[in-house]
Amino acid sequence: MNKIYDIWVGEQFKRFRKQSNLTLEQVGERLGKTKKQVQNYENGVSKIYMDTFFRLCNIYGVDANKFAIESIDYLNSIKE
């Protein structure tokens, strides 16, 4: 079940990246990570920890509190 959640969060960040017209490389540079690591986040292969979560929200101009609440709501919906 957690993998489903990781994939969902990654998909949301991928959508935010595309809406921001940023490449994997550009996001990686801003995070100090590789293109592959950003891709792993987006595909749910790697967990996105809180520090990276907030940094990604900042890069994409996303309200971190609102997205965190949406993420928790999604997590609760897949537990039911």
pTM above 0.75, yes or no: yes
CATH number among 1.10.287.3510, 1.10.260.40, 3.20.20.80, 3.65.10.10, domain 2-79 = 1.10.260.40
DSSP class of residue 34? -
Q: Are 56 and 46 in contact (CB under 8 A)?
A: no
d(CA 61, CA 17): 10
36-55 per-position pLDDT tens digit: 999 999 999 999 999 999 99
Q: What mean pLDDT comes out for the span 11-37?
A: 98
